[in-house]
Amino acid sequence: MIDAQGQRVAGVDVPPSGVGGMPTSAWLPGQQAAVPLPLSLPPDLPAGEYEVILGLYDADSGERLPVSGNFDLASTAMRAIRVTTLTYP
């Protein structure tokens, strides 16, 4: 989750496993999965609008993978898609 300045304020980094436990190499184009992830917000998080973003990393290098397709990009540099915008609290 990022603030209006693009700074990370909360996040969860876990291996993707929402498609029947299959590795990403077995995923099919257009396949969808819902993966509930708990997101702990800092107790001093100021009220405001925040973006929930999603990105995938290369397991070996740790580098964020590029985004391809027709997605709402959070930013090209971040290599992440915008999932939703929320207002806190």
Contact between 40 and 10 under an 8 Å Cβ cutoff? The reply is yes
Contact between 52 and 84 under an 8 Å Cβ cutoff? The reply is yes
Digitized pLDDT (tens) for each residue of the chain, 89 residues in all: 999 999 999 999 887 776 667 777 888 888 877 778 889 999 999 999 999 998 888 888 989 888 887 777 776 778 888 999 999 99
Q: Which two tokens stand for residue 82?
A: 């915008």
Domain ranges for the chain: 1-9+48-89
pTM above 0.85, yes or no: no
CA-based nearest residue to 13, from 45, 46, 53, 73: 53
